[in-house]
Structure 1
Amino acid sequence: MSSIHTGIEWTDKTWNPTTGCTKVSPGCTHCYAETLTKRFPNHFKNGFDLTLHEERLKEPTKWRTPSRVFVNSMSDLFHEDVPLDFIKKVIEVIQATPWHIYQILTKRHERLLELSHHLEFPENMWLGVSVESQNYVHRVDFLRKVPASVRFLSCEPLLDSLNLDLTDIHWVIVGGESGQKYRPMKIEWVEDIRDQCQAAKVAFFFKQIGGRTSKAGGRLLDGKIWDEMPDVWEAHKKNWGNSPLKVANKKEKLALTA
């Protein structure tokens, strides 16, 4: 099962060169990706065991319209069982498709920093860490040391109030948990993070309040939908445009100057 379609509000497409993962913190407890593998077992022959998909590596090269691509919505690229060579192959595809923006989110902050010394991160590769509670704010310190053009935080599911140091962070996503066993989120936690972002001039994106269904509670915060993106996204769209033909022409020019 490799579908580019997604209901995730802050991205356009998903790309899963790996699937499966293991749980490392409370944010993983009700993992939606694991739930999907159980709901559609015919599409996931290895269940939620980590699986590499070499056959999917070239998928983004076929997408002509510039898009935000969430890498591994069903996994974690920096999982300890993903070989360095495979991660390099993923990054090679990212480098070869500069008309897309790739959003990579991990809970493996230590491995991210460790491997950053062996990898080159292109400008169209955004890197983020999950921060579900104050106990995991230290992940941000590791992210800050990674040479990424955009660093972002995903505070979803938000399980507690957060006091964040947003130095050198460009974007924060906040969302409540959904599903039958969802853990309720207090709206004042969201408002406080929003205020911290505004004070630090960091883009703030409120994904959902959460509840029994993915759309339960809605997205309004103080009567407004907060869907801010890092400034570089607007610049990227302006540079590449929305025309597949324009992208094809840019690819041709890149090939000629390579």
Structure 2
Amino acid sequence: MPTNIAWTDETWNPIHGCSRVSAGCDNCYAEQLSYERHGWTEKPWTPENAEENISLKPDRLEPGGDGHPAGYDEPKRIFVNSMSDVFHTEVPDAFIQDIFAEMRNYPEHIFQVLTKRPGRAAHMDIQWPPNVWMGTSVEDDRVVERIDLLRGCGAETLFVSFEPLIGPVVDDADQLDLTGFDWTIVGGESGPDWRDMAHEWVWPIRRACMQQDVAFFFKQSAAFRPEQGQALRCPNGVRRRFREMPELSDPVRRAREQYQEELPA
């Protein structure tokens, strides 16, 4: 499905529902949409309600299903799942394997998977296709260990989403080890109960990316509406936009070239 998330093109949700796991989940937009606005789930997204709130959508694994990658006539970046967490404990291993099988079938697309449960992602027996970018969310210094947990994952491209950034992650760039990572996203919180984000919290992340040759994408400042304040205020006072993306791996580049060659003239 089309989306206004700046770092992706489409969303695909073969799972619906989740449960809060840390402070970054307190104002979860997916919960607000599903529980508070539309009634797609009937209870708050607490751990106690996870079994009832999380539902699998096997029809979306079939071509023709809502958001399925077969529906796009050009290579896309596809966010999997914007309304859940692929690696939630309530999602069976077999269903996760089915999702990965579908992603493997469409090597021309980039699939961006984001989890707050990187330990499971790193320890599952998964054949990681080169077109899957695997990321974890880090909202402040209380959950920075997620970076080390995801580092053990076998995905070719790893990223960290510092969003919503609700507190400092490190005081100095030298304290942030991004070894093995290719990309970072930073963004403030949006929505009616948004929490402020100091641009000073972003500076060490930006410097660490520069020092370690990691692509840096600044999505937004904290504001009521998403995609507001897309420029980072740098230490010298100048505001700059950063929209860097990781380089495509050779297998993905070749798959895209082959896909273009096979299109009808």
Shorter chain as normaliser: what TM range? 0.7 to 0.9
- Residue in 1 that maps onto 2:115: 106
Amino acid at match of 1:81: E
- What's the Cα RMSD here? 2.2
- Residue in 2 that maps onto 1:70: 79
Q: Is the 8 A contact 2:219 2:227 kept in 1?
A: no
Q: Which moved more, 1:81-90 or 1:207-216?
A: 207-216
Q: Which moved more, 1:57-66 or 1:203-212?
A: 57-66
CA distance in 2, matches of 1:199, 1:206: 17
CA distance in 2, matches of 1:127, 1:46: 30
- Residue in 2 that maps onto 1:161: 168
Q: 1:150 aligns with which of 157, 174, 185?
A: 157
Distance 1:247 1:86, change over 3 A: farther
- Residue in 2 that maps onto 1:228: 244
Gaps of 5+ in 1: 250-258
What stretches of structure 1 move > 4 A for 4+ residues in a row? 45-48, 233-239
Secondary structure, counterpart of 2:202 in structure 1: helix
Task: Tell whether 2:194 aligns with 1:179.
Answer: no
Distance 1:188 1:37, change over 3 A: same
CA distance in 2, matches of 1:80, 1:96: 25
Q: Is the 8 A contact 2:130 2:251 kept in 1?
A: no
Gaps of 5+ in 2: 46-52, 63-67, 171-175
Amino acid at match of 2:2: H
- Residue in 1 that maps onto 2:25: 28
CA distance in 1, matches of 2:195, 2:143: 17
Aligned residues: 242
Q: Which moved more, 1:19-28 or 1:223-232?
A: 223-232
Distance 1:233 1:247, change over 3 A: farther
TM-score by length of 1: 0.87
Cα displacement string for residues 39-82 of structure 1 (whole angstroms, at most 9, x for unaligned residues): 5426x266761110011113112222100100000000000010
Q: 2:128 aligns with which of 121, 129, 138?
A: 121
Amino acid at match of 1:51: S
Task: Tell whether 2:57 aligns with 1:53.
Answer: yes
CA distance in 2, matches of 1:74, 1:159: 21
Deviation at 1:104? Answer: 0.3
- Residue in 1 that maps onto 2:100: 91
Distance 1:238 1:89, change over 3 A: closer
CA distance in 2, matches of 1:174, 1:34: 21
Q: Is the 8 A contact 1:204 1:226 kept in 2?
A: yes
Amino acid at match of 2:18: C
Task: Tell whether 2:250 aligns with 1:246.
Answer: no
- Residue in 1 that maps onto 2:230: 218
TM-score by length of 2: 0.85
CA distance in 2, matches of 1:96, 1:217: 38
Amino acid at match of 1:24: V
Q: Is the 8 A contact 2:114 2:135 kept in 1?
A: yes
CA distance in 2, matches of 1:208, 1:93: 32
Task: Give identity over the alignment, percent.
Answer: 40
